[in-house]
Each structure stands twice: as structure tokens, then as C-alpha cells.
Structure 1
Amino acid sequence: MKLLLSAYALEPNRGTELGNGWNWALNTAKLGHEVWCLTTVEGRESIEKEVERLALPNLHIVFVELPAWVDKLFEYHLGFYPHYMYWQHGAYQKAKELDEKINFDLVHHVTIGSLQMGTALWRLNKPLIFGPTGGGQEAPSALKKYFYSGWKTEIMRKVISELLLALNPNARKAMQHASLVLTTNQDTYDMAQRIGALNPKMFLDTSLPEDFYPEAYPERIPDETLKILWVGRLFARKGLPLVLDALSKVRPDVKYELTILGDGPMHDYVPRWIDEYKLHGKVNWKGQVPWDEVKRAYTGSDLFLFCSLRDSSAAQFLEAMAYGLPIITLDLHGAKNLVPDDAGIKVPVSTAKETVKAIAAAVEKLYDQPLLRRQMGTNGYKFSKSQTWTKKTQHINEFYSKYTQAKPAELTVQP
């Protein structure tokens, strides 16, 4: 099959959207498809080195270059939005040029995974698969105090989201044109339906390479101290102060230590939070660490505690499950759909006081019941094995086969 991928974010050996973009391109090519993948010039050197090393003749990375003044937008707050819009226009022009020579069988938009931003490639009038995508999730206002000054950014994001849904033709028309829209959480599924998606389907966007897993399942011997792990970027929406507040409320007899791995814009707040919640001696913040140390932390911990306030689908959950860790999180957004019910405790969001109380109670429960921790960890590990990149792309390949059969009359939105 002659396949066109759109991956604005793409780079090998990276996490989040960049890693997703690369893995979609690599693994669809490994299935034997002739793959052309549109991306930005960001990370070009590492991409070209990896493509050369792999020597896959059917993987073609196409760099869409933009004027220097457009790339400079990235340096400014909210500059991503105009930069991505401009790139979409350039990507469509390049795709149109390529299609005249190649005649693609199908178009698949993989990154950025934002429903509101859409894709300009609906204009090619080819069978289109959009996603997996997020974008429909909103942070609960009941927990806004944990954003500190970042709550203003959340309000601005919501305003921009509604404007894009109303004014960005690449959002609505992509939804209406797409043969299939893959959404990574229920919130985005509902939004896709609201703006006219004809065929939305739930589909997790988080996957792991086979070599990520430990050589053997990590068996843990219960200890009197519960070793808790938090991994993530220090953004306001990642909810670290909520976790710290909850830990400050657990019973005095519960012995625990929390390891925090990650850095980011909220860096300066962390020492203040530790002071505020009187957690000295119980929290070890290591900042950004090498990937091997992250894996060692997964292996050496008893529990993964991560209560993001807005996330389409956090990869850390799948990573933690791959190392047999039970999960405590909020019953919200991506976590609601990604974490199996028998692999952890998903705390309902209510008032700030009640949510904190429920998280603390979940920690106490898993402290008291090491056998339950073990069972949840085993269940999560089994689930994670179903979410490898190989299995994910084999699944998507079934969609490719199905939706290349779409007839021109079924592509209802005209350019």
C-alpha cells in the first residue's frame, strides 16, 4: 500500500508526541507498506541518521520547510498554534505534489494528536484516518488551586480550543471527511461526534517497543516502607501538588517515601510544596534523570502515583504497568480509559478536599494490602503486553485494509 503519514512531531529515541510520530512511521514501514511521512525540519539530523542506519528502502521521510520567520514563532508563548497552521498549509502543498506522482492509497494523520488543530490533508480527497488523537479533555475547575498561576493558561487554552473548533476548517472538515477518527479518551470521542465525525472509534495512542520491558517480571518483597514513584514533566497540569497534598494526609503509621523524577516550568515550586505539606524526609526529588535511571526507579518502586489534571493519555501509566507497578490516579481523561480497573485505583474527582481524602485513602489501602498491590501489578503487566507498537500497528493495518476500499462517493466533503 502507498501510505502518506502526517507527523508534525517526529524524532527517533524520544518520548511523547515525537516518539509516537517516529514509531508510527517506522512500524507501518515494517509492515511492508511504502510509507511517505511528512514532518518538520526539527530533529532532521537524528532522523536522517536513524533512517540511514535502518536501511528501510520503503520509508521516505519528507521534510516540510518553512520560512525562518515562521519557525521563530516557536520561541513565543502560544506560538505553536500559528506555526502548526502554517506547517499544515505547507504539508498539504507538498502532499498534493507527491500525490500527483505517487497516487496514495490512504492518508493517516498521526501527530499532532489534537482534534482542534485537525489536518489539511482532507483536501487530497483520499481515504483518511485521523488519530489517535486527544484534545477534548478539560481540567476540572474543582482542582484549579493546584494549578497556581497556571490556571489562567488553562482558561486561555479552553478559549482557543472553542475558537479553533468554530473557525478552523481543518478541524471540522477533517472530521467530516475522515473514514475513521481514532480518539484516545472519551472526552475527545464526544467532541469528535459533536463537530461531525462520521465514524469515531476509541483507540489508545500509547504503546511501547518490545525492548522496553524488563527481562523478567519484577517480583517485589513487601517492606515496611512503601516506595512510591512519580514520573513526569513539571507542568501545572501534571498535578504534583495534588499528590503531595494527599500524601500529607495519610495516616501517621503509613511509612512511605516518594521519589519524583522530572523537571520543568514548575521547578521552583517543588521545594515550596515540600515545605507547605511538611514532607521533608519523605520526598526525594531527583529532577531530570537518564532513561536507565527511570527504568531502575520503576523496578525499585512499589506503587506509581500520578494524578494528572489534564492529559490525553499519559505514557507513564503504560511504562509503570510494564514494570508491574499498581497505579493510583484520577478517574479522568486518558487515565480513565488507559488504566484497567483491576490494575489500580482510579479516584473520582469531586471537591478538592474529598479528592485529596480519596487519594490518601487509596495509598493507605495499598500500603495495608501488599497482596492487592501484587495482583494489580500483575494485571497491569499483562495489559501492557497487549499495547506494544508491533501489536498496535498490526491493529491499525486492519483499518488500512478496510478503509482503502472507500469509494469516492463516500468521501463526502469536497475540497
Structure 2
Amino acid sequence: MKLLLSAYACEPNRGTELGNGWNWALNTARLGHDVWCLTTVEGRESIEKEVKRLALPNLHIVFVELPALVDKLFDYHLGFYPHYMYWQHRAYQKAKELNKEIDFDLVHHVTIGSLQMGTALWKLNKPLIFGPTGGGQEAPRALNKYFYRWWKMETMRKVISELLLSLNPNARKAMQHASLVLTTNQDTYDMAQRIGALNPKMFLDTSLPEDFYPEAYPERLPDHTLKILWVGRLFARKGLPLVLEALSKVRPDVKFELTILGDGPMHDFVPGWIEEFKLHGKVNWKGQVPWDEVKRAYTNNDLFLFCSLRDSSAAQFLEAMAYGLPIITLDLHGARNLVPDDAGIKVPVSTANETVKAIAAAVEKLHDQPLLRRQMGTNGYKFSKSQTWTVKTQHINDFYSKYTQAKPAELTVQH
């Protein structure tokens, strides 16, 4: 099959969307398809090095360059939006040229995974698969205090999201022309339906390579001190202060140690939070660490506690489950769909005080019941094995076969 991928974010040996874009390109090519992947010039050096190393003759990376003035927009917080919109325009022009020569069988938009931003490639009038995508999730207003000064930016994001849904033709047109729209959470599924998606389907976008997993399930001997892990960027939406406040409410007899791995814009707040919540001696903040140390942390801890306030589908959950860690998180957005019910505790979101109490109670429960921790960890480990890139791309390959010739109108009859 001659496949055109749109992967604005794409770079080997990276996490999040950059890694997703690269892995979709690499793994679809490994299935035997002739893959042309449109991306930015940002990761060009590392991409070209990896492509040369792999020597896959059916993997073609097409770099879509932008004028220098437009590229500078990427350095500003809200500059991403016009940067991406302009890149879409140039990517479509390039795709149109390529299509005259190659005549693609199918188009697959993989990153950016934002429903509101859409894709201009619907104009090629080819079978289109859009996603996996997020974008429908909104941070709960009841927990806005944990955003500190960043709540204004969160509010602005919501306004921009609604404007894009109303004014960006590439959002609605992509939904209406796509043979299949894959959404990572229920919030985005509902949004896709609202703006006219003919065939939305839930599909987790988080996957892991086979070599990520430990050789065997990591057995953990119960200890007097519960070792808790938090991994992520220090963005407001990642909810670290909520976790710290909750830990301050845990029963005094519960001995625990929290390890924080990550850095980011809220760096300067962390010492103040530790002081405010009286957690001295209970928190070990290591900042940004090498990937090997993150893996060791997944092995050496007893529990993964991560309560993001807005997330499409955080990869950390799958990473933690791959190492047999039970999860405590919020029953919200991507976590609600990604974390199996028997692999952790998903805390309902209500008022700030009630949510804090519920997180603290979940920590106490897993402290008191080491056998439950092991059972949840085992369940998560088994689930994570079903989410490898090999398995995921095989699922996508089934979609490719099914939807290559089908028209959107035919799909509405089938479903």
C-alpha cells in the first residue's frame, strides 16, 4: 500500500508526540507499506541519521520547511497555533505534488493529535484516517487553584479550542471526510461526534516498544515505607501540587517516600510546596534524569501516583504498568480510558477538598494492602503487553485494509 503519513511531531528516541510520530512511520513501514511521512525540519538531523541506520527502502521522510519568520513563531507559547496552521498549508501543497507522482492509497494523520487543529489533507480526496487524537479534554474548574498563575492560560486554551472548532475549516472538514476518526478519550470522542465525524472510534494512542519491558514481572517485597513515584514535566496541568497536598493528608502512621522525576516551568514552586505541605524528609525531587534512571525508578518503587488535571493519554501510565506498578490517578480524560479498572484506583473529581481526601484514602488503602498492590500491578503488567507498537500497528493495518476503498457514506451504513 502507498501510504501518506502526516506527522508534524516526529523524532526518533523521543517520548510523547515526537516519539508517536516517528513510531507510526517506522512501524507502518516495517509492515511492508511504502510510507511517505510529512514532518517538520525540527528533528531532521536525528531522523536522517536513524533512517540511514535502518536502511528501510520503503520509508521516505519528507521535510516540509517554513519561512524563517514563521518558524520563529514556534518559540512563543501561542505561536504554535499559527505555526502549525501554516505548516498544514505547506504540507498539503507538498502532498498534492507527491500524489500526482505516487497516487497514494490512503492518508493517515498521526500528529499533532489535536482534533481542533484538524488536517488539510482531506483535500486530497483519498481515504483518510485521522488520529489517534485528543483535544476534547478540559481541566476541571473545581481544581483551578492547582494551576496557580497558569489558570489564565488554561482558560485561553479553552477559548482558542472553541474558536478553532468554529472557524478552522480543516477541523470540521477532516471529520466529515475521514473514513475513520480515532479518539484517545471519551471527551474527544464526544467532540468528534459534535462536529460531524461520521465514524469515530475509541483507540489508545499510547504504545511501547517490546524492548522497553523488563525481562520478567518485577516482584517487590513489602516494606515498612511505601515508595511512591511521580514522573512528568512540571507543567501546571500535570497536577503535582494536588498530589503533594493529598500526601499531606495521609494518616500519620503511614510511612511513605515520594520520588519526583521531572522538571519544567513550575520548578521554582516545588521547594515551597514541600514546605507548605510539611513533607520534609518524605519527598526526593531529582529533576530531569536520564531514561535509564527512569526505568530503575519504575522498578524500585511500589506505586505510581500521577493525577494530571488535563491529559489526552499520558504515556507514563503505560510505562508504569509495564513495570508492574499499581496506579493512583484521577477518573478523568485519558487516564479514565487508559488505566484498567483492576490495575489501579481512579479517584472521582469533585471539590478540591474531597478530591484531596479521596487521593489520600487511596494511598492509605494501597499501603495497608500489599497483596492488592501486587494484584493491581500484575493486571496492569498484563494489560501493557497488549499495547506494544507491534500490536498497535497491526490493529492500524487492519483498519488500512478495511477503509482503503470504503467511502464515508458507506461507513455510516455499516455502523
Deviation per CA, 1:222-266, whole angstroms, max 9, x where unpaired?
Answer: 000000000000000000000000000000000000000000000
8 A Cα contact 1:331 1:346, kept in partner? yes
1: CA distance between counterparts of 2:27 and 2:330? 32
Deviation per CA, 1:248-289, whole angstroms, max 9, x where unpaired?
Answer: 000000000000000000000000100110100000000000
The 3-state SS of whatever aligns with 1:13 is coil
Shift of 1:185: 0.1
8 A Cα contact 1:127 1:411, kept in partner? no
Where does residue 360 of structure 1 map in the other structure?
360
1: CA distance between counterparts of 2:45 and 2:183? 31
8 A Cα contact 2:260 2:284, kept in partner? yes
8 A Cα contact 2:2 2:33, kept in partner? yes
Where does residue 270 of structure 1 map in the other structure?
270
- Evaluate the alpha carbon distance shift between residue 407 and residue 311 of structure 1 in structure 2; reply closer, same or farther with a 3 A threshold: closer
Shift of 1:128: 0.1
Deviation per CA, 1:42-89, whole angstroms, max 9, x where unpaired?
Answer: 010000000000000000000001100000101122100000000000
Shift of 1:411: 10
1: CA distance between counterparts of 2:326 and 2:123? 45
2: CA distance between counterparts of 1:364 and 1:406? 52
2: CA distance between counterparts of 1:75 and 1:405? 41
1: CA distance between counterparts of 2:414 and 2:172? 13
- Evaluate the alpha carbon distance shift between residue 352 and residue 284 of structure 1 in structure 2; reply closer, same or farther with a 3 A threshold: same
Shift of 1:408: 8.9
8 A Cα contact 2:179 2:407, kept in partner? no
Segment drifting more, 210-219 vs 158-167: 210-219
Shift of 1:414: 22
- Evaluate the alpha carbon distance shift between residue 242 and residue 286 of structure 1 in structure 2; reply closer, same or farther with a 3 A threshold: same
The 3-state SS of whatever aligns with 2:11 is coil
8 A Cα contact 1:237 1:310, kept in partner? yes
8 A Cα contact 1:125 1:411, kept in partner? no
2: CA distance between counterparts of 1:414 and 1:324? 39
Shift of 1:412: 11
Percent identical pairs in the alignment equals 92
Deviation per CA, 1:293-323, whole angstroms, max 9, x where unpaired?
Answer: 0000000000000000000000000000000
1: CA distance between counterparts of 2:404 and 2:102? 15
| Structure 2, unaligned runs of 5 or more | none
8 A Cα contact 1:258 1:284, kept in partner? yes
8 A Cα contact 1:184 1:313, kept in partner? yes
8 A Cα contact 1:4 1:104, kept in partner? yes
- Evaluate the alpha carbon distance shift between residue 409 and residue 250 of structure 1 in structure 2; reply closer, same or farther with a 3 A threshold: closer
The 3-state SS of whatever aligns with 2:413 is coil
1: CA distance between counterparts of 2:133 and 2:26? 19
8 A Cα contact 2:165 2:171, kept in partner? yes
8 A Cα contact 1:177 1:411, kept in partner? no
Residues 334-349 of structure 1 aligned to structure 2 (within 5 Å): 334-349=334-349
8 A Cα contact 2:330 2:347, kept in partner? yes
The 3-state SS of whatever aligns with 1:386 is helix
Verify: 1:296 aligned to 2:296, yes or no: yes
2: CA distance between counterparts of 1:322 and 1:77? 33
Where does residue 412 of structure 1 map in the other structure?
412
8 A Cα contact 2:113 2:131, kept in partner? yes
Shift of 1:410: 5.8
8 A Cα contact 2:177 2:408, kept in partner? no
Runs of 4+ in 1 over 3 A off after TM superposition: 407-415
2: CA distance between counterparts of 1:275 and 1:170? 48
| Structure 1, unaligned runs of 5 or more | none
Residues 164-175 of structure 1 aligned to structure 2 (within 5 Å): 164-175=164-175
2: CA distance between counterparts of 1:124 and 1:6? 13
Deviation per CA, 1:173-202, whole angstroms, max 9, x where unpaired?
Answer: 000000000000000000000000000000
2: CA distance between counterparts of 1:408 and 1:16? 30
The 3-state SS of whatever aligns with 1:413 is helix
Where does residue 384 of structure 2 map in the other structure?
384
8 A Cα contact 1:173 1:413, kept in partner? no
2: CA distance between counterparts of 1:302 and 1:6? 39
- Evaluate the alpha carbon distance shift between residue 382 and residue 414 of structure 1 in structure 2; reply closer, same or farther with a 3 A threshold: closer
- Evaluate the alpha carbon distance shift between residue 122 and residue 181 of structure 1 in structure 2; reply closer, same or farther with a 3 A threshold: same
The 3-state SS of whatever aligns with 1:253 is coil
1: CA distance between counterparts of 2:340 and 2:388? 16
8 A Cα contact 1:176 1:413, kept in partner? no
- Evaluate the alpha carbon distance shift between residue 249 and residue 98 of structure 1 in structure 2; reply closer, same or farther with a 3 A threshold: same
Deviation per CA, 1:308-357, whole angstroms, max 9, x where unpaired?
Answer: 00000000000000000000000000000000000000000000000000
2: CA distance between counterparts of 1:412 and 1:321? 36
8 A Cα contact 2:199 2:412, kept in partner? no
Deviation per CA, 1:123-150, whole angstroms, max 9, x where unpaired?
Answer: 0000000000000000000000010001
- Evaluate the alpha carbon distance shift between residue 124 and residue 412 of structure 1 in structure 2; reply closer, same or farther with a 3 A threshold: farther
Where does residue 238 of structure 2 map in the other structure?
238
Q: Return the TM-score normalized by structure 1.
A: 0.98
- Evaluate the alpha carbon distance shift between residue 152 and residue 414 of structure 1 in structure 2; reply closer, same or farther with a 3 A threshold: farther
1: CA distance between counterparts of 2:250 and 2:292? 31
Shift of 1:409: 7.4
8 A Cα contact 1:177 1:412, kept in partner? no
1: CA distance between counterparts of 2:370 and 2:85? 50
- Evaluate the alpha carbon distance shift between residue 385 and residue 60 of structure 1 in structure 2; reply closer, same or farther with a 3 A threshold: same
